[in-house]
Amino acid sequence: MAAINKEMTIAEMIQIDTGIIPILMEAGMHCVGCPSAQGESLEEAAMVHGMDVDALVEKINKFLAEK
């Protein structure tokens, strides 16, 4: 089973499963295609957007586990 962590970049996560995109968008992270997503970790992006990164990681990993 694939899993993500908060140190991964958004680009790395999307390479694992493009189904992660709607989860990020729903959470308010609309920077999926932005150049920052290539080098910024999920933790850094969550901090910029004022999100709870641990809750987001949990939600994404739950999605991946249920596939």
The pLDDT tens digits for 4-52 are: 999 999 889 989 999 999 999 998 887 777 777 778 899 998 998 899 9
Q: Which residue is associated with the tokens 């999920």?
A: 42
Residue 63 has pLDDT above 80, yes or no: yes
Q: Categorize the per-residue pLDDT at 67 as very low, low, confident or very high, splitting at 50, 70 and 90.
A: confident
Say what the pLDDT of residue 22 is: 95
User: For residues 4 and 16, what is the distance between their CA atoms, to the nearest angstrom?
Assistant: 8
Tell me what pLDDT residue 65 has. 96
